[in-house]
């Protein structure tokens, strides 16, 4: 059954880790006065909370139970933004029951009357395939690894570039190969390669993509 498109402007921003999609999504939210949901934080929260309970990240039922307890207001814990949280998120995200548990929450956010910006890996393909503006943000693995290394260093969590690059490549493979909602661009998404862009340049390019979609579809 096709999804009915809500009246508000819905923007999906998908892509791999450290591609810049989170910052781009935040900039778009500010530009259009829309709420932003970083769906990666949902999976990070599931992984971290499961580990805090002493659970096994490979235990699908336990991870799904944690996912069912989450809300979009539970994502402010700094522990969800660490390197370990990112790895945990990638591991629990492969579980179909975890993705199913979080599906309704994400789709409800996307259907807010005023619209929304959704940042993740399957926003344009699974969560809001009816969104009028879809962007798939990417960058070379080496560029993304250096960005993540600097981010971790700024958080007081220094890491060697080679280790971060290995993490990036492992997460790309896991996210792209999983059976449940694999990471891939939607057929009608616009590809935005930020490898050689500053964040201001990337945000400006993303806004131009959104404006073109609004003109094309007559979206307010």
Range of the domain at 166: 9-217
pTM over 0.85: yes
Distance of CA 207 to the CA centre of its chain: 18
Per-residue pLDDT at 174: 86
**26-62, pLDDT tens digit by residue?**
999 999 999 999 999 999 999 999 999 999 999 999 9
Per-residue pLDDT at 5: 55
Angstrom distance (rounded) from CA 195 to CA 201: 11
Angstrom distance (rounded) from CA 90 to CA 16: 11
Of 150, 60, 75, the closest CA to residue 106 belongs to 75
Confidence of residue 220 (pLDDT cuts 50, 70, 90): low
Question: Does 99 fall in a domain?
Answer: yes
Question: Does 1 fall in a domain?
Answer: no
Q: What percent of the chain has pLDDT over 70?
A: 96
Question: Does 2 fall in a domain?
Answer: no
Cβ neighbours for 79, distance < 8 A, ≥ 6 positions apart: 48, 85
Cβ neighbours for 173, distance < 8 A, ≥ 6 positions apart: none
Q: Does the pLDDT value for residue 147 go beyond 90?
A: yes
**70-101, pLDDT tens digit by residue?**
988 889 899 998 989 988 998 999 999 999 99
Question: Does 118 fall in a domain?
Answer: yes
Confidence of residue 2 (pLDDT cuts 50, 70, 90): very low
Q: Where are the beta strands (DSSP E) in the chain?
A: 9-14, 36-38, 115-120, 133-138, 190-193
Per-residue pLDDT at 1: 37
Q: What is the DSSP letter of 79?
A: G
Per-residue pLDDT at 204: 98
Confidence of residue 219 (pLDDT cuts 50, 70, 90): low
Q: Does the pLDDT value for residue 4 go beyond 70?
A: no
Q: What percent of the chain has pLDDT over 90?
A: 80
Question: Does 4 fall in a domain?
Answer: no
DSSP assignment of 21-75: HHHHHHHHHHHHT--EEEHHHHHHHHHHHHHHTT--TT-HHHHHHHHHT--TT--
**95-113, pLDDT tens digit by residue?**
999 999 999 999 999 999 9
> Around 183, how many Cα atoms within 13 Å sit in the side-chain half-sphere?
22
CATH of the domain at 171: 3.40.50.300
Q: How many domains does the chain have?
A: 1
Question: Does 3 fall in a domain?
Answer: no
Question: Does 113 fall in a domain?
Answer: yes
Angstrom distance (rounded) from CA 81 to CA 38: 11
Task: Judge whether 206 and 24 are in contact, CB under 8 Å.
Answer: yes
Question: Does 176 fall in a domain?
Answer: yes
If one counts every other C-beta atom within 10 angstroms of the C-beta of residue 160, the result is: 9
Average pLDDT, the chain: 92
Q: What is the DSSP letter of 137?
A: E
């Amino acid at each position: 059954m096709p999804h009915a498109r809500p009246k508000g402007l819905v923007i999906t921003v998908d892509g791999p880790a450290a591609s810049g999609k989170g910052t781009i999504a935040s900039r778009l939210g500010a530009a259009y006065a829309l709420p932003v949901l970083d769906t990666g934080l949902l999976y990070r929260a599931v992984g971290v909370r499961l580990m805090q309970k002493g659970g096994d990240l490979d235990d699908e039922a336990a991870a799904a139970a944690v996912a069912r307890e989450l809300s979009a207001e539970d994502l402010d814990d700094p522990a969800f933004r660490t390197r370990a949280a990112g790895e945990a998120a990638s591991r629990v995200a492969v579980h179909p029951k975890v993705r199913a548990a979080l599906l309704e929450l994400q789709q409800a956010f996307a259907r807010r009357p005023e619209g929304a910006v959704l940042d993740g890996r399957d926003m344009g393909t699974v969560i809001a395939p009816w969104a009028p503006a879809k962007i798939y943000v990417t960058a070379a693995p080496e560029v993304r690894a250096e960005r993540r290394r600097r981010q971790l260093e700024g958080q007081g969590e220094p890491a060697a570039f080679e280790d971060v690059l290995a993490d990036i490549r492992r997460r790309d493979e896991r996210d792209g190969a999983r059976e449940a909602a694999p990471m891939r661009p939607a057929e009608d998404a616009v590809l935005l390669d930020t490898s050689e862009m500053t964040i201001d340049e990337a945000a400006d390019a993303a806004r131009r993509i959104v404006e073109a979609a609004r003109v094309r579809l007559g979206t307010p």
